[in-house]
Amino acid sequence: MSVFKQGNVAVITGAASGIGRAAATAFAKAGMRLCLFDRNADELEAFAALLPAATRAVVGDVARYEDVERLRDTAYEAFGAVHVLMNNAAIGHGSKSWGARDRWAAILDVNLWGVIHGVQAFTERMLAQGAPAAIVNTGSKQGITNPPGDPAYAVAKAGVRVLTEQLAHDLRNHPGGQISGHLLVPGWTFTGLTAGQGAEKPAGAWTPDQVVEHMIGAVEAGEFYVYCPDNVVSETLDALRLQWSVGDIIEKRPALSRWHPDWKARFELYAAERLS
């Protein structure tokens, strides 16, 4: 049974732009009632005004647990239930392995603690509904294959992956529980986090709408890892990258060997042989 249906209620964080905005638009078209959350008040309120009347907009910061509690209370007071919780809010990149402690704190507070706050604030109430529901947490390929260059973002998204795996396990083993957990893993997506102002979408990137369409289909099919390709990286290449990453551990290769000068060419040959 699909949770993305007319009359059901969706709560989306980071809803004013990017994937969150695309999800809200798609859910509204399906006849769902919406409670949208973002810390950009102007963008959120302008967007909410374009949606059906059964939409609530809550301004706040997912890094503040009390703000997420207020989001939960607003959703339940307005609609009495939540059938889809999408913990999606995130902030941009930029960190190094040492130094810039303030930047690390900001990224972890939103990208990891923001998801934890959503799970903590909503799950008990959603279980008590006794009805089918879904919690979708937005992760990243950077939290799985761990490319170098932005460790704080990768650490946060790796934490989201681990949290969501644990959550899905706990939900499926909860007596009488009817909630499923899902990890959304976008590929190269043209959003405010990845594009400069006024930039045109590169041919290789997916749009947020494509990500959301893929997500809805995957969740309805019962998939946990909603791993999105794009117009450059196929599902097959994604799988090879994942297998190679795990192989670093099994075969005792150097950390992040895909980018290591002694191993980069070996990975490229490994992938080419299997893609041909």
In angstroms, the first-to-last Cα distance of the chain is 39
Map residue 260 onto helix, strand or coil.
Answer: coil
Q: Which are the contacts of 160, defined by CB distance < 8 A and separation ≥ 6?
A: 111, 112, 115, 137, 138, 139, 140, 143, 183
Catalytic one among 153, 225, 227, 270? 153
Q: How far is CA 83 from CA 7, 31, 125, 276, in A?
A: 10, 13, 11, 43
Give the bridge partners for 227, in sequence order: 185
Decide if 76 is catalytic: no
Structure tokens at 233: 């990286």
Q: What is the rounded distance in angstroms from the CA atom of residue 226 to the CA atom of residue 240? A: 17
Q: Which are the contacts of 212, defined by CB distance < 8 A and separation ≥ 6?
A: 19, 22, 23, 26
Write phi, then psi, for 117 (nearest 5 degrees): -60, -40
Find out whether 113 and 92 touch, Cβ atoms under 8 Å. Answer: no
The residues that are catalytic are 153
